[in-house]
Amino acid sequence: MMRRKTGLLALVLLVGGVASAEVCTTQSQMTGPEREALAAAARGLAAKVQAGDVSGLRAATAAEYAKDFGGIGDVVGSTSAHVKGGTLKVEQVYVLDGTQLKRAADGSVPDAQFFCSLNKSVAEADFIISGLAPGRYGFAIVDVADGSAPWRLSFLLRQDQGQWVMAGFYPKPLLAAGHDGLWYWTQARQMTLQKERWNAWLYYQQAENLLRPTNFIQSTHLEKLKAEQTAVAPPALSEGVSAESPLVVKGADGAEYRFTALGVDDSLGNDKVDVTAHLKVDELGDAAAARKRNADAMAALVAAYPELRKPFHGVWMIAEVVGQNPFATEQAMSQIH
C-alpha cells in the first residue's frame, strides 16, 4: 500500500515568543457560574464540530484568528465524521490568566507558562503556550463517547467582552487499534520486564500520543511516563533519533539506511498499530525504485530489531528529501522479508 502521509493534525491558531509565568485556576477553584460559563462555551464549540458547522465555528472564534480560517474546514469535516452523534462530556476546564503578559521590546509576544496544581496535591498540569497575546484564556477538554471510537476535542478559548471565544482547536482519538493510552502504558511496562526495549519505547510513545491532549500541555503523570520511556530506550536511541543523529541500519546487501524518526501510526484502523520510520535519502527516484528502497529499508529495520514483528501490524516507511513531497509505503509484517 502506498500513500502520502497527511494525518489529522491539531489546528493551533497561535504563533511563537519568549517566556513568562502566569496564573492558572483549576475547575475546583472556580465559582460555579465561572465554571459553567466556560464549560457551556466548550460544549457549544464541540456541538458545532459534531455538526460540521464551519461557519458557526468561525463566528465563535476570536476575530484575529477568524480572518484566516485556512484549513480548519477540512479538520472540522474530518473530525465531524468521527464524532457525529456522540455524547459530549466536558472533562476538565482551566482558566489561564495571561492579562499581565507583556510584549518584548521588538514587539514579539512571549511564551506563557501556567502551572496548575491539581486538588491541592503535588500533581500538576502545566501549559506552555507559544506566542500568547495578553488576555484571559480558558482551556477545555470535551470527550465525545459513541461506544466504539471515543474522541477528545480540546479548545483554547479567550474571553472577549465577557464572552468565551475560540483561539485554538485540538482534536484527537482516544483509542489506537482499540486500546487507550493507559493500556499502552501498561503494555510498555510489561515489554520492559520482557527485555523488549524497542517495543516498549514505541508503546510508551503511543501511550503519550493518546494521553496528552495537545503538545503544549505537560503533567506530573506524563512526566513519569516520559521518564520511564527514557529509561527503557535501547542504547541505539539513548541520544535520540533525528536528522542530525540518525539511526543507521545496514541491510542484507550492505546498504545503509538512515532513519531520522521512529513512531507509531493507527491510520489504517488495523487490530495493531504500525511502526512509522522516516528515511533520509539523497533523491527519491522513480516510483518503482522508491518503492523497492522503502521495502528494503523495512526489511533491514525488522531484521535488525526482530521483536518489532510481534506487537505491530506493519511498517510505514516514509522516504524524505528536503524540499520534496515524501514517498510513503506501508507493508504488513508478513509481507516484509
pLDDT tens digits for 157-184? 999 999 999 999 999 999 999 999 999 9
Percent of the residues in the chain that have a pLDDT greater than 90, as a whole number: 79
Judge whether residue 244 has pLDDT over 50.
yes
The grid coordinates of residue 101 equal: 503578559
Residue 147 confidence (pLDDT): 63
Beta-carbon contacts of 152 under 8 Å, excluding residues fewer than 6 positions away, are 91, 141, 142, 143, 144, 171, 172, 173, 174, 213
Q: For 300-315, write each residue's pLDDT tens digit.
A: 999 999 999 999 999 9
According to the model, what pLDDT value does residue 120 have?
A: 61
Alpha helices in 117-219 (DSSP H): 181-193, 197-211
Q: Contact at 8 Å (CB) between 93 and 155?
A: no
Q: How confident is the model at residue 20 (pLDDT cuts 50, 70, 90)?
A: very low
Give the pLDDT score at 16: 35
Q: What local confidence, expressed as pLDDT, does residue 59 receive?
A: 95
Element (H, E) at 32: helix 32-50
Name the DSSP class of 9: P
The candidate with the shortest Cα–Cα distance to 171, out of 141, 128, 205, is 141
The CA-atom distances, in angstroms, between 42 and each of 3, 4, 47, 90, 152 are 35, 33, 9, 8, 12
pLDDT at 17 > cutoff 50: no
**Which amino acid is located at 212 in the chain?**
R
Average pLDDT of 100-117? 85
| Contact (CB, 8 A) for 104 and 110 | yes
pLDDT score of 3: 42
Degrees, nearest 5: CA angle 99-100-102: 115
Q: What is the mean pLDDT of the chain?
A: 90
The predicted structure's pLDDT at residue 14: 39
pLDDT tens-digit readout, 24-74? 999 999 999 999 999 999 999 999 999 999 999 999 999 988 888 877 878
CB-side exposure of 127: number of CA atoms within 13 Å? Answer: 27
CA–centroid distance for 128 within its chain:
15
Is 50 exceeded by the pLDDT of residue 2? no
**Of 324 and 1, the one with more pLDDT:** 324
Lowest-pLDDT range of 19-23, 107-111, 231-235, 269-273 = 19-23
Read off the pLDDT band of 281 (50, 70, 90): very high
- Domains of the chain are 8-173 (3.10.450), 179-233 (no CATH), 239-337 (no CATH)
* In contact, 98 and 109? CB cutoff 8 Å: no
- State the pLDDT at residue 220: 93
Of 145, 180, 181, 184, the C-alpha closest to 46 is 145
Q: Please give the pLDDT value at position 202.
A: 98
